[in-house]
């Protein structure tokens, strides 16, 4: 170990950040969990310790079940949709194509805009009016003789429709990740496989795709954690309507409309847990991998 004199100044320089992260990330996650374990169900009471009672009780609320189901449907459709579309776009572009820069710029630009702004257009596009009153996509579909939909107001598939704007917004990002992945496969490897008699499809199947696994994992983690805490988009498209409720919106309502800190904190804890469960192993794995290389 090197002498303390050589590393102490460095430690001092990052100390402010260590304190800030310690207090605002870890301290507050803990504090939130503590609030979740009290019966502080209004703005004034002190809150007595009730253990995990709130975490159990919340499953009695029909609204909680609804918001969890919504989050699951949204996550599955959004993550798969963005992954498949992003992969497809990258696959079509990876060998170089005329106007590649323009394609990339257009697929990626939604990333630069806020969900609140794009939510306004998508609310118009996914307007549930039909027939004479149809605007947006329903009007467009009518012209093409396609059926009209309820979109995000649909009882069963509303959250799948809600995933469309999110796919539109994020698939360019996934494309950029995969494109970098495709380009990172050394040409010699592909050439070697061809010399060994692989067809072009075989080259993808046995050489390129296995090497893309880490990229796929990164994309899954990023999309997954965005999805589980989705808030802006839902609020912008449909506000606080129960029909599109998700845990993050439910928490907002619990804090501001019901003035129930304990319930809000309980929901927040569940959101954190759902993300932590897969992000923590991923972080440990990727830091170890970086150390090895």
The reply on whether position 26 binds another protein by CB under 8 A is yes
φ, ψ for residue 199 (rounded to 5)?
A: -75, 170
The reply on whether position 112 binds another protein by CB under 8 A is yes
Residue of the chain from 89, 161, 162, 207 that contacts another protein (CB under 8 A)? 89
Residue of the chain from 61, 92, 146, 192 that contacts another protein (CB under 8 A)? 92
Least distance (Å) from another protein to the CB of residue 230? 10
The reply on whether position 16 binds another protein by CB under 8 A is yes
Helix axes 158-183, 100-108, angle to 10 degrees: 140
Query: Which residue's CB is nearer to another protein, number 111 or number 155?
Result: 111
Mention every residue, 6+ apart, whose C-beta is less than 8 A from residue 131: 148
Query: Which residue's CB is nearer to another protein, number 171 or number 207?
Result: 171
Torsion of CA 91, 97, 103, 108, to 10 degrees: 40
The reply on whether position 110 binds another protein by CB under 8 A is yes
Taking the C-alpha atoms of residue 236 and residue 239, their distance in angstroms, rounded to an integer, is 6
Q: Of 24-32, 73-81, 148-156, 205-213, which part binds another protein (CB under 8 A)?
A: 24-32
Q: Within 10 Å of residue 128's Cβ, how many Cβ atoms?
A: 18
Query: Which residue's CB is nearer to another protein, number 155 or number 238?
Result: 238
Least distance (Å) from another protein to the CB of residue 64? 15
Report yes or no: 121 and 212 within 8 Å, Cβ to Cβ. no
Query: Which residue's CB is nearer to another protein, number 55 or number 252?
Result: 252
Taking the C-alpha atoms of residue 60 and residue 53, their distance in angstroms, rounded to an integer, is 12
Instruction: Report CA-CA distances (Å) from 191 to 9, 49, 208.
Output: 51, 66, 12
- Binders of another protein in range 115-144 (CB under 8 A): 115-125, 129, 132-136, 139-140
The reply on whether position 216 binds another protein by CB under 8 A is no
Structure tokens at 236: 């912008």
Taking the C-alpha atoms of residue 277 and residue 177, their distance in angstroms, rounded to an integer, is 23
Q: Of 52-60, 190-198, 201-209, 228-236, which part binds another protein (CB under 8 A)?
A: 228-236
The reply on whether position 84 binds another protein by CB under 8 A is no
The reply on whether position 46 binds another protein by CB under 8 A is no
Lookup result for tokens 């979740």: 36
- Binders of another protein in range 162-181 (CB under 8 A): 168, 172-173, 176-177, 180
The reply on whether position 223 binds another protein by CB under 8 A is no
127 alpha carbon, distance to own chain's centre: 24
């Amino acid at each position: 170990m090197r002498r303390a004199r050589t590393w102490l100044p460095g430690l001092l320089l990052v100390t402010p950040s260590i304190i800030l992260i310690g207090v605002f990330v870890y301290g507050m996650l803990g504090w939130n969990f503590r609030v979740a374990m009290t019966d502080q169900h209004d703005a004034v009471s002190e809150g007595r310790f009730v253990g995990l009672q709130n975490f159990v009780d919340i499953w009695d609320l029909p609204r909680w079940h609804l918001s969890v189901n919504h989050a699951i449907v949204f996550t599955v459709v959004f993550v798969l949709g963005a992954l498949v579309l992003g992969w497809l776009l990258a696959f079509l572009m990876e060998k170089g194509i005329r106007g590649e820069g323009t394609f990339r710029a257009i697929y990626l630009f939604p990333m630069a805009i806020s969900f609140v702004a794009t939510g306004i257009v998508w609310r118009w596009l996914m307007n549930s009016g039909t027939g004479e009153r149809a605007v947006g996509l329903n009007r467009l579909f009518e012209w093409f003789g396609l059926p009209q939909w309820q979109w995000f107001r649909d009882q069963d598939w509303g959250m799948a429709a809600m995933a469309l704007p999110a796919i539109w917004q994020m698939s360019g990002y996934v494309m950029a990740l995969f494109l970098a992945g495709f380009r990172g496969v050394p040409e010699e490897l592909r050439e070697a496989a061809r010399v060994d008699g692989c067809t072009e499809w075989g080259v993808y199947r046995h050489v390129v795709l296995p090497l893309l696994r880490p990229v796929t994992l990164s994309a899954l983690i990023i999309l997954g954690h965005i999805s589980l805490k989705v808030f802006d988009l839902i609020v912008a498209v449909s506000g606080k309507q129960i029909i599109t409720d998700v845990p993050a919106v439910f928490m907002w309502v619990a804090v501001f409309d019901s003035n129930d800190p304990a319930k809000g904190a309980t929901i927040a804890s569940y959101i954190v847990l759902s993300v932590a469960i897969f992000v923590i192993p991923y972080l440990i794995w990727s830091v170890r991998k970086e150390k090895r290389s």
